[in-house]
């Protein structure tokens, strides 16, 4: 199985299936009129055509209709009031009829052979519920690196432990529709990390994941609001892991891994809150920086920077704002900030 990275097959499943499954591509669209045409055009170029393409307009107020006009004869369009990424994906999935649903964000694109290669993996390994590929990460028009790296690896051996430690799935994935619908889809109450929370639920529920180890998508990272985004991200991670800990089927080791991940996210939250307070010139900037200085588990470099925030919060804030200004011109800095 050249190019496939997969867990060991279970004997109860056949080795191969007769033909590739059908893929329903689901796209959530909110304020992406200038970008969605490129995503949809990439589906027209697929060597294995999607079974159907479903676009959910999540309450957009831009000129999305004009952007979709050239594609209306080959998409299913769903409209709703704004409910966020999770709500838009759920609405698109509700209209899907393919065996697998494949997620494509409106500002990203697929390489021409992506669905064909996902189909080849599904044919070889019908026991897999989730299929993904590697991807190129693009920032401000420049390819920065591939998604999977020496430090960001796809987990093969113990995927239950892997998903509790970190989200090891590239998110523009294909998932068996019956599996994700049966699990309730995306939880719309989960902030920011609704995808990770969903994959965690599926894998802990028995789903298995395979990877096509080729960069077959372009994932575009856009500048965000820096530390404010990281505050929400870490809060979301803590919430998602807390939900996992409420399960009764975790082993002792899995509970330890989840608690370790919560401890790490809590430290990162404390650091992000301190940076946001310094950047905003908030009255509690000094006290939040002090929490990093005196807290457990922080690297000495983080403590040193936080100590500067305690001693000179105004100057520290100015430096953070200057660093933030680089995000519009330095792709590596954008990616580092978002990770």
Cα–Cα distance, 303 to 291 (Å, whole number)? 9
* Alpha carbons 304 and 267: distance in angstroms, whole number: 15
Query: What is the sign of the dihedral through the CA atoms of 5, 6, 8 and 10?
Result: negative
Q: Which residue has the tokens 């999305």?
A: 64
Distance CA 208, CA 179 (A): 11
Alpha-carbon torsion, ordered 253, 258, 262, 263, to 10 deg: 10
- C-alpha 177/C-alpha 338 separation (Å) is 30
Mean pLDDT, consecutive 10-residue segments, the chain of 339 residues? 83 70 96 95 98 97 95 96 95 97 96 98 95 93 91 94 96 97 95 93 97 96 65 93 96 97 96 94 95 94 94 91 65 48
Where are the domains positioned within the chain?
Answer: 4-221, 227-338
Span 4-221 CATH architecture: Alpha-Beta Complex (3.90)
Cβ proximity of 335 and 222 under 8 Å: no
- Whole-Å CA distances, 319 to 89, 240, 274, 276, 309: 39, 33, 14, 12, 10
Give the per-residue pLDDT at 1. Answer: 52
**Predicted pLDDT at 15:** 64
**Closest residue by Cα to residue 33 from 77, 70, 65, 10:** 65
Strands (E) located in the chain: 4-5, 23-29, 52-58, 76-80, 100-103, 109-110, 130-139, 142-146, 174-176, 209-221
Q: How far apart are CA 252 and CA 237, in angstroms?
A: 20
What pLDDT, on a 0 to 100 scale, did the predictor assign at position 230? 86
Q: Let me know: does 150 contact 188? Beta carbons within 8 Å.
A: no
User: Which residue is associated with the tokens 């420049």?
Assistant: 142
Tokens of 279: 């950047």
* pLDDT number for residue 225: 45
> How many Cα neighbours within 13 Å face the side chain of 2?
0
């Amino acid at each position: 199985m050249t190019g496939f990275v997969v867990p060991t097959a279970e004997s109860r499943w056949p080795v191969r299936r007769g033909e590739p499954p059908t893929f329903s591509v689901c796209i959530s669209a909110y304020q992406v009129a200038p970008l969605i045409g490129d995503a949809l055009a990439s589906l027209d170029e697929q060597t294995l055509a999607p079974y159907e393409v479903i676009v959910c307009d999540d309450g957009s107020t831009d000129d999305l209709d004009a952007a979709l006009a050239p594609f209306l004869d080959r998409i299913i369009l769903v409209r709703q009031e704004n409910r966020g990424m999770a709500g838009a994906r759920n609405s698109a999935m509700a209209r899907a009829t393919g065996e697998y649903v494949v997620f494509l964000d409106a500002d990203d694109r697929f390489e021409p052979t992506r669905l064909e290669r996902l189909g080849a993996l599904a044919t070889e390994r019908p026991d897999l519920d989730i299929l993904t590929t590697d991807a190129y990460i693009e920032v401000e028009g420049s390819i920065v690196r591939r998604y999977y790296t020496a430090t960001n690896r796809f987990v093969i051996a113990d995927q239950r432990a892997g998903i509790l430690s970190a989200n090891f799935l590239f998110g523009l994935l294909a998932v068996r529709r019956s599996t994700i619908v049966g699990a309730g889809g995306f939880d719309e109450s989960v902030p920011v990390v609704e995808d990770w929370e969903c994959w965690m639920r599926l894998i802990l529920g028995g789903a298995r994941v395979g990877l096509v180890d080729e960069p077959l998508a372009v994932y575009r990272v856009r500048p965000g609001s820096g530390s404010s985004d990281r505050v929400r991200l870490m809060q979301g991670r803590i919430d998602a892991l807390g939900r996992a800990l409420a399960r009764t089927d975790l082993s002792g080791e899995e509970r330890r891994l989840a608690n370790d991940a919560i401890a790490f996210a809590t430290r990162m939250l404390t650091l992000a809150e301190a940076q946001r307070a310094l950047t905003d010139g908030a009255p509690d900037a000094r006290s939040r920086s002090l929490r990093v200085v005196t807290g457990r588990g922080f690297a000495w470099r983080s403590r040193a920077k936080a100590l500067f925030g305690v001693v000179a919060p105004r100057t520290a804030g100015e430096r953070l704002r200057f660093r933030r200004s680089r995000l519009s011109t330095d792709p590596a800095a954008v990616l580092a900030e978002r990770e």
